[in-house]
Each structure stands twice: as structure tokens, then as C-alpha cells.
A and B are shown apart, each in its own frame.
Chain A
Amino acid sequence: MTTFFHTAEQREYILETVGLSKEFRGFVAINQVDLKVRKGTIHALIGPNGAGKTTVFNLLTRFLKETAGAIIYKGRDITHSRADSIARLGIVRSFQISSVFPHLTVRENVRVALQRKHGMDMHFWRPARELNRLNREADALLDEVGLESFVNLQAVELSYGRKRALEIATTLALDPELMLLDEPTQGMGHEDVGRIADLIRKVAANRTILMVEHNLDVVANLSHWITVLQRGEVLAEGSYDEVSGNPQVIEAYMGTAHG
């Protein structure tokens, strides 16, 4: 494991990729992507369908192995870490399709995330009711995402938007430094979108967020910095105004440049 010397500039970035590339049997899904995520910001990754956003996420969280390149997190090379150890380093992701434990209750979902931190993951000789000690902490997290009245419901019974909220509460239980959200508002009604956007802003207060998002209103509202991907390459980077005025970006989205 390599530890790089910190220059002033590097310390600002919590996550960097250097020449990150991924090929699937000759098809280049990600080509030489250099991503720099500044600490404490909400960074959006946007781009047309098939641009490779989710692939980047899977590479960052080690659910996929890169073909070339490196991933640096807080000055440390994590390119060869496993998916679960990434999470323990403080990078926790959500998935494109809401990912909960369906036949656990809402509270149990959050408790599962808390168990490891409290050293209650290996106790096979203790009664499960000892987990009730985590209830207060779990309920506080559920309160934060507005699920306090559903604690005893099975997760499978929640509406889609609430499942997403539960997913965020579960992620927050690990208190990650860097949260990766894969299309947090996808497939949601208008009201839910607003609620999740508020929630993201709230939880971003003391952490860094990298998100893939299609809803440009949400992107415009929330993000400090935007990277636009197209066909696996970085097309443009900057603030929302810079990026949205960029003729190349407009062409990628609209098919023609008009501006």
C-alpha cells in the first residue's frame, strides 16, 4: 500500500482517480478518468445514459476491478482493497435500485449497520434481544430521515421513496466520510424528490458526497461541482453554470449545439 506525500493541493481532495479505465471484453466503458472530489463538497457525476457513471461507482467501491489506473482516498492507494474494507475506511455507497434488507424491520435494517461498530456482529452465543441496546441510536437515525413512525414495519412494505430514506439512514449509521449515492431520486414522485434532496443537503453538512444524478434540478440545487461523463470519458467539469453553458455538454444532452 502506497502512501503519497501530501501537498497542499492533495490534502484538499478526499478522493482522486488517476487514469482510471475499465474494459469489458474489448469494450472500453471507462477511459482514463481523472476524478477529483474535494473534501466537504457535494460533487455530482452526470452524463447521458451509458456514459459509465455507475461503472465508475462500482470501480470506486471495488465491486468491479479496474483495467488500469489508481484510486487514491485520503492520500492512500485503495486500488487493491476489497469492497467491504472500503466501507470500513469510510466510503459507503447506495445502489441505483434501493437496497435494503427486505424482511428485516426498518429498525433492524439500521441496527445491522450499527452492529459492527459496536462489536456485536460475531456474538452467536448471546440472545438477539441484546441488540435492543442499539435501538436508541437506530431510532435517532430514523428520526433524521423521517421514518420514526415506521420502525417496526418490515422494510419490504415501505414505499419506494421511504426505502431510499431507509437506505440513507443505514448508510449514515456508519458515519461515512464519503457517501456515494447512485441516482438517489430515480423513479420518485415530485414530493419524494424534494424530500430526498433536502435530506442529502442535511447529511452533507459534515461529509463529502459524490452522487450520480439524472434530475438536473436536483443537481443544480445541490452540487458544488459537476463532472460530466460521456462515453466513459470526462467531457467537462466545473460549477453548474459553467457546465450548463458548455456547448459540448449541451450537445451531448440535446444532440445539437444551440447556444
Chain B
Amino acid sequence: MWSSSLQRRLPRIVDMPRMTIVAGIIVLGALLVLPQFIYPVFLMKAMCFALFACAFNLLLGFTGLLSFGHAAFFGSASYISAHALKVWGFTPELAILAATLNSALLGYLFAYVAIRRQGIYFAMITLALSQMVFFAALQLPFTGGEDGIQAVPRGALFGFIDLSDNRTLYFFVLAIFLFGLFAVWRIVHSPFGQILKAIRENETRAMSLGYRVDYYKLVVFVLSATLSGLAGGTKALVVQVASLTDVTWQMSGEVVLMTLLGGMGTIFGPAVGATVVLSLQNYLSSLGSLVTIIIGVIFVVCVLAFRRGIVGELQARWPRRNQ
């Protein structure tokens, strides 16, 4: 009852289904209280990966393009952010901005080369390009090679809000995370998002209506890379390290897994998937390499039993009469 009156009052501000609004409010409330109970650094890390997966899903779920090189945007952003904080002495928001711009540019380069290719060829080209970024991260002098960039200072937000306290940083990261999610949601539910949907549904028809489909794909690729960069740049600030792990091809694979597990083509699914994967890695870390096997088994079960992913499956089974 209360939720329907809520939607009646809000319809022009947020035209989301009622269930999404209610779920959103619950999650938001939880995010505000959770740092009291759970180690904030873990939560912040989870939000970074969640945003990364949601940005990736713009391509996989909402455009139908499988990029296998998204670690390049996430990882290189964390290097730029760490370097800007540590060496250039940037304030955190400027460091993250620089990291985000870096990924936007890199995304444009990737898309320019790969976007005309289809299916597996597209995936392979993005993989090859991201391996070049990995090589650069290994060889360039400023990245610290195998050691990465360590002991990154968090600095003071806008020059005067000290972020060394995890609680303070938490709300900054939460704000970035919410902004990122909102951006994804907005892109999907925008006039441009409508064209993406048309392209995904019937590419030849879109072309015969005068749409240069490669161009729209390029734009969404750059948007996805940009938001991945926002996530990666923030992550370096949180964990105070930029390392090779985030630019490896395994990371590109992991984000595919998070997205599929949570539900591709849903706005919040990838965030759920990322949280699940990260929690397993975190809480089962004492089991060592067994974690990989456990996640693998979960993934296989998920693909076999709930093909739509966690959120996708919930949506499909939710009673439709309310909508």
C-alpha cells in the first residue's frame, strides 16, 4: 500500500517499476548502516567492483557486445589515480577524474579498432588490446612493474576533507557509486538507450532506418569504459594500491562472471553478482585456491539452473500483476 502511494507521489521524478524503487530504498538504507557492522574497506571495494560490473553490462546486457578487455579500463584507471595521488599530489576527486578521462580515451581507441568486428572477433580484439595495456603496465617506469604502486595517500577531498578515516571515505565512495549506477540507469532509459535497444533487437532494420550502428556502439563502448575507469580510479583510492591484478585478462573474465551471475541486461544484477563473487573471495580466502573451484561450481550451477542470473531470475518470477 505504502509503496503505491509513494509511486503516485514520485511518478515524474523516477519512472521505475515500483519493485525497483522499494528494493532501491532498502539497499540504500542498508548501505548507510552497513559500515557499522562490516569492515568499510570491504564494502567500498565491493561498490567499486559493482560499479565496474554495471558499466560492463551496458555493453554485454544492453548492447549485446562481449568485450573481453574491460580490465584495461578498470586497471589503467587505478594506476593513473594512484600515480596522480602519490606523485602529482592531486586531490582525490581530481585523481579520480584524471583516471576516468584516461579510460574514456582508452575506450575510444579500443572501440575505434574493434567496433566493426562482430561476435568472437570483437571479443578477441578487445582481449588483444587489453593485453597490450597489461604489457604497458608491466613495463612503464611509473607503474612499478611487479610491485605496482603502493602506499598511495588518500589525501583530502577538495583539499580540506581528510579521507584517511574509513568512515568518511565510505560516504565519498558511496556517492560515486550511486552516481555511477544512476548514470548506467539513465543511459539505459534514455532516448539513446532506446536506439541501442533497437539495434540489439534488429540491427539491419536500424541500419535501413538510417542509423549508423557502429557509431552508436562506439559511443556506448566509450561510456562503458569511462564508468569502468571511474570504478577503477576509486578502487585505488580505497585500497591505496594499484597493481597488475586489475589489468590482467583474468579480471576481464571475472567481470563477465559477475555480470552473468547477477543477471545481464538488468540494471542492478551485475552489482549483486559482484558482491557475491567478492564476498566468496573474501570470506573463503582461508581455503586458498579452493575458492576458484567453489566460484566455478557456483557459476556452472547458476548458468545451468538460473540462466537469467540472480536478479534476472527474481524479476522473471515476481508476480506481474502489479506492473
- Contacts from A to B (Cβ < 8 Å): 61, 63, 82-85, 87-88, 92-93, 95, 99-104, 108, 111-113, 115-116, 120-131, 170-171, 174
Residues of B171-225 whose CB lies within 8 A of A: 186-187, 189-195, 197-198, 201-202, 204-213, 216, 219-220, 223
Q: Does B165 contact A (CB under 8 A)?
A: no
B212 touches A100 (CB 8 A): no
CB of A237, distance to nearest CB on chain B (Å) = 27
Question: Known interface pairs A124-B193, A128-B194. Does A87 touch B219 (Cβ–Cβ under 8 Å)?
Answer: no
B189 touches A127 (CB 8 A): yes
B191 touches A120 (CB 8 A): yes
Q: For the side of the interface on B, what is the size category?
A: 20 to 34
B202 touches A122 (CB 8 A): no
B210 touches A131 (CB 8 A): no
- Contacts from B to A (Cβ < 8 Å): 15, 186-187, 189-195, 197-198, 201-202, 204-213, 216, 219-220, 223
Contacts of B197 in A (CB 8 A): 101, 103-104
A82 touches B205 (CB 8 A): no
B190 touches A111 (CB 8 A): no
A131 touches B191 (CB 8 A): yes
Q: How many residue-residue contacts, CB under 8 A, span A and B? A: 102
CB of A132, distance to nearest CB on chain B (Å) = 10
Residue of A nearest to B201 (CB): A101
Contacts of A83 in B (CB 8 A): 207-208
Residue of B15, B194, B197 with most chain A CB atoms under a 10 A cut-off: B194
Residue of B187, B190, B213 with most chain A CB atoms under a 10 A cut-off: B190
A95 touches B201 (CB 8 A): no
A103 touches B190 (CB 8 A): no
Report Cα–Cα, A83/B201, bound state, in Å. Answer: 18
Contacts of B223 in A (CB 8 A): 124
Question: Known interface pairs A84-B210, A87-B208, A174-B210. Does A101 touch B198 (Cβ–Cβ under 8 Å)?
Answer: yes
Report Cα–Cα, A253/B216, bound state, in Å. Answer: 46
Contacts of B220 in A (CB 8 A): 124
Report Cα–Cα, A124/B191, bound state, in Å. Answer: 6
5 residue pairs, one from A and one from B, having the closest CB atoms: A87-B210, A124-B192, A101-B201, A120-B191, A123-B191
A82 touches B212 (CB 8 A): yes
